[in-house]
Amino acid sequence: MIEVIDLHVGFASSDVLKGVSLRVAQGERLAILGGNGSGKSTLAGWLAGWFSGGTHRLTAGGCLWNGKPWDDYTLVERAATVQLVGQFPAQHISGRAFTVAEEIAFGPENLGLPHEEIVTRRDETLAACHLEHLAGRDPFTLSGGEQQRLVIASALALRPKLMILDEPFSNLDPEARSHTLSVLNALPADVSVIIMDTNPDTVLGWANRLFVLHEGKISEFGNIRATLFDPTVIATIGLPAVTRCFLEIERGSGSAENLSRDNLPLTFVEAAAILRRSRSA
């Protein structure tokens, strides 16, 4: 279990996180939404134990994995426990692999696993992530979306207990997006997954819990609707695409139903039901 306790951190001359507390239990699927510059990537880095010292400044609080700070774990223990896939796939590629298959094996090799185990993990990951057709390619010749899928695969090959993904879908075509979600959903039940995003659409229907990060502070509202219809959330990240387009259509046509934040559609299924009713009315 990961626990963030009153985390205050800064970068250069600014305070980025101003007292963030969060507890993620085993197997939870959590989404953290926030606008650009809200501190999502900084929080992701601290959750994954990337920033202790350096240019990132910790002023109070911290992060604990099973009760101990990341500094108390060895690099190998940490890498086998938590994996962070950041926004820029090219920055994750090791530069020590000539092929996609070698890139996926790079992490397990560095855990010092037996050869057969490395090969098994490499081949299973290639298959599970649908990367077999790219196995012999140089990682740096892949397209942006293909690199993003490779980086997610390389992280999964370490079989972490906590996966953190920072805007993982923004560069993926629809097929790759739904496949990546299915790979995440097929992870063992004790693996926790945290997705950071600016876009509510990508995590609706996936997350068990939804948090909002705004100006360095995190909030969890009562439920998903209360979160998405919060005025600050609407002003910064905007409504889900379905809700926004539905409201535009409604403005033009007028609806037979009284719509409020309790029953405005968030998904296509909900929108279809209302539109079909109003058409037959």
Partner 1 sequence: MLEVRDLGFAYQGQPLLFDGVSTTVPDGHILAVVGRNGAGKSTLFKLLNGLLKPEDGEVLVGGKSISGRKISEIAAHIGTVFQSPEQQLFAGRVEEEVAFGPRQFGLPANQISERVSDALNRTSLLDQIARHPLDLSAAERRFLAIASVLAMRLPVLLLDEAQRGLDRVWTERLESILEAERSAGKSIVMICHDMDFVERNADTVLALGGRTPRQIPVPAFFSDTEVLAEVSVERPTPYRLREFMT
Question: Can residue 136 be called a binding residue for partner 1 (CB under 8 A)?
Answer: no
Binder among 1, 5, 11, 224 for partner 1 (CB under 8 A): 11
Binder among 2, 30, 65, 146 for partner 1 (CB under 8 A): 146
Q: Between residues 75 and 249, which has the closer beta carbon with respect to partner 1?
A: 249
Q: Between residues 73 and 206, which has the closer beta carbon with respect to partner 1?
A: 206
Question: Can residue 90 be called a binding residue for partner 1 (CB under 8 A)?
Answer: yes
At closest approach, how far in Å is the CB of 32 from partner 1? 13
At closest approach, how far in Å is the CB of 238 from partner 1? 3
> From CA 192, how far away is CA 24, in angstroms rounded?
7
Contact positions with partner 1 (CB under 8 A) in 218-247: 234-238, 241-242, 244-246
At closest approach, how far in Å is the CB of 108 from partner 1? 25
Binder among 6, 132, 173, 257 for partner 1 (CB under 8 A): 173
Question: Can residue 183 be called a binding residue for partner 1 (CB under 8 A)?
Answer: no
Task: Point out which residues bind partner 1 (CB under 8 A).
Answer: 11-12, 34-37, 41, 87-88, 90-91, 141-146, 149, 167, 170-176, 198-199, 234-238, 241-242, 244-246, 248-249, 253, 268, 271-272, 275-276, 279
